Amino acid sequence: MAEETKSRLYRFKPYTDRLPAVKKPEGHVHFRTKMLWVVLILVLYFFMTNVYIYGLDQEQTVDLFAQYRAILAGASGSLMQLGIGPIVTASIIMQLFVGAQIIKLDLTNKEDKAVYQSFQKFLVIIMIVVEAVPQVFGYLVPSATFVDTLNGVVGSGEYINGLNLARLIIVLQLFAGSYIVFLMDEVVSKWGIGSGISLFIAAGVAQALVTGTINWEPVTAGDPLSIQNPPAGTIPKTFYIIQHTSASGLINGGYEQIMFAPPNPMIALIGTIIIFMFVAYIESVRIELPLAHGTARGARGRYPIKLLYASNIPVILMAALLANFQMITLLLYTNPTLSQIPLIGGNPSLGYFVPPSTFPQGGLAWYVSSPQGVSSWLMPILDPATYGYLAYDHTNFEIMVHVTVFFSIMVIGSILFAKFWIMTTNMGPEAVARQIESSGLQIPGFRRDPRVLKRVLERYIPVVTVISGATVGALAAGADLIGTVGNASGTGVLLTVGIMIQFYEAIGREQMMEMHPVLRGFFGGE
């Protein structure tokens, strides 16, 4: 590439290449080794979710990402507080800038793609700081004992004091935890199977679903079990209410409490099962293009173009985008300093919050927020007197606008991110045509030429990409409207089903390549 046409990001390459990273394997990594790395990284992930930040007052901690906790694969108050948020946010920014040609990089060019990936590492570091620092000032509160101890070490000056030092130590812990997550994702991508980000999401959501279904502890910890304080899990809650309520009591409110009352109503468990089955079916829908080997007569195959061609990545990016928007509006409304900014600071039109809750109760942030099942929108419409408080006493019209806006944003946003994702991962018609041609295959009845293959693929891939983005966006939004157990969110369940199916298929490809090494080139293996 000529020097004058190179992107300005090349100037950062000498510095970004020095950032800590996981070395790519030089040769083929055996299947057993890949599975071992996946298991080890999963164990490390669960270990980090249970390592709490040193010096943090857990009772005063406010989780800015509570609504999106399962999707962001984190755990409040732990080293995984930020989860995959910084990684996904950096990916969103890079995709938007490249897609809008603000950053001029050709991702089909190896040098440009290397620059793209190395600068994204630098951007991840920036986003870790951007997401960590605001949380420490007012939301991740250092314990009084920790602050007093540090005051005895550094004194209690205006700037150099125990409180500021405690905040710095917490920020450093958040930074270390988030960058370790980034390196863990690289380990899975380079030495394991699939994507580390997807694996962490599936692990976090699976944990939430299990606890939401079978948790026998009372809703309010420390208080005795009662009809007003039943077990938190769907199944124990159902049995407890049936056992401790008379027949007339069940008819006059017991069944309604079982089916619709939060937390973890039966409708959420039913919705979760329906989502699992429906997504499993959708994942199997595909168009298969017939392929034949150009020299080996009789050798035939098929190239599958799945209905969910862009995978679940668009929904992950949309969830991270909405989570960041909610965090920003919460900071602008509740932070003592940011709330003083003219026009946007403390403006309820952008987002209205009532501390200690981090869920928006009005404004733009509420309209784009994810509904928490039928109890947050349908029940308030049907019975405002009883359930209106669950929708913060908004009118039926406002609730319907909320549902419509959220659904539309998820669908449109997922379509846009699907297009960007296909472009940045070499899954477009031109890249796939080169991949098929380099493997010696061709479409029967067409001349063996990547340009011909490209024209054929252009009939399918762009259209399927749009359908893919719209489908996953609509499924995720619909799942959020139905609700799920464990507060995993419908989006989280959708992602988990897709991730597990894709992981199963990836294991199948790895085993096939292990038995037939000639297939590695076609599947992109080493």
Of 405, 36, 65, nearest to 193 by C-alpha is 36
Rounded Cα distance between 480 and 484, Å, is 7
Regarding whether 144 and 234 lie in a shared domain, the answer is no
The pLDDT of residue 347 is above 90: yes
Last residue of a domain, one of 192, 207, 236: 192
- 254 DSSP assignment: I
The pLDDT of residue 143 is above 60: yes
pLDDT of residue 125: 93
Number of domains comprising the chain: 2
The pLDDT of residue 1 is above 50: no
Of 300, 347, 310, nearest to 328 by C-alpha is 347
CB atoms within 10 A of CB 459: 11
Query: What is the DSSP pairing of strand 286-293 with strand 441-442?
Result: antiparallel
pLDDT of residue 35: 92
| Residue 68 is assigned to a structural domain of this protein | yes
Lowest mean pLDDT among 154-163, 416-425, 474-483: 154-163
Regarding whether 162 and 16 lie in a shared domain, the answer is yes
Regarding whether 123 and 75 lie in a shared domain, the answer is yes
Q: Please, what's the largest Cα pairwise distance for the chain?
A: 82
Rounded Cα distance between 156 and 64, Å, is 29
Q: What is the percent of the chain where pLDDT is above 70?
A: 94
The CATH number given to whatever domain includes residue 107 is: 1.10.3370.10
CA atoms 264, 268, 270, 274: torsion sign: negative
What does the pLDDT average to over 91-108? Answer: 79
End-to-end CA distance of the chain: 26
What does the pLDDT average to over 87-91? Answer: 88
Rounded Cα distance between 502 and 280, Å, is 10
| Residue 204 is assigned to a structural domain of this protein | no
The pLDDT of residue 378 is above 80: yes
Structural domain of residue 250, as residue ranges?
Answer: 216-263
3-state secondary structure of 300: strand
Regarding whether 259 and 146 lie in a shared domain, the answer is no
164 φ/ψ angles, rounded to the nearest 5 degrees: -65, -40
Regarding whether 36 and 169 lie in a shared domain, the answer is yes
| Residue 358 is assigned to a structural domain of this protein | no
Distances (CA, A) of 440 to 291, 298, 301, 514: 10, 13, 12, 20
Averaged pLDDT of the chain: 85
The pLDDT of residue 519 is above 60: no
The pLDDT of residue 2 is above 80: no
Lowest mean pLDDT among 20-24, 185-189, 234-238, 521-525: 521-525
Regarding whether 233 and 174 lie in a shared domain, the answer is no
Regarding whether 227 and 112 lie in a shared domain, the answer is no
| Residue 349 is assigned to a structural domain of this protein | no
Q: What is the percent of the chain where pLDDT is above 90?
A: 31
193: left (phi over 0), alpha (psi -120 to 50) or beta: beta
Lowest mean pLDDT among 9-23, 351-365, 423-437: 423-437
pLDDT of residue 493: 86
Regarding whether 258 and 154 lie in a shared domain, the answer is no
Greater confidence (154 vs 123) lies with 123
| Residue 454 is assigned to a structural domain of this protein | no
The per-residue pLDDT for range 197-212, each reduced to its tens digit, is 888 988 888 888 998 9
Of 398, 409, 400, nearest to 325 by C-alpha is 409
Regarding whether 111 and 17 lie in a shared domain, the answer is yes
Rounded Cα distance between 193 and 191, Å, is 7
- Provide the pLDDT confidence category of residue 412 given band limits of 50, 70 and 90: very high
- Provide the pLDDT confidence category of residue 4 given band limits of 50, 70 and 90: very low
Regarding whether 255 and 120 lie in a shared domain, the answer is no
Lowest mean pLDDT among 96-105, 172-181, 405-414: 96-105
| Residue 131 is assigned to a structural domain of this protein | yes
What does the pLDDT average to over 399-421? Answer: 94
CA 248 remoteness from chain centre: 44
Total length of the chain: 526
| Residue 227 is assigned to a structural domain of this protein | yes
Regarding whether 167 and 38 lie in a shared domain, the answer is yes
Regarding whether 178 and 223 lie in a shared domain, the answer is no
| Residue 241 is assigned to a structural domain of this protein | yes
- Provide the pLDDT confidence category of residue 3 given band limits of 50, 70 and 90: very low
Of 307, 83, 295, nearest to 180 by C-alpha is 83
pLDDT of residue 297: 60
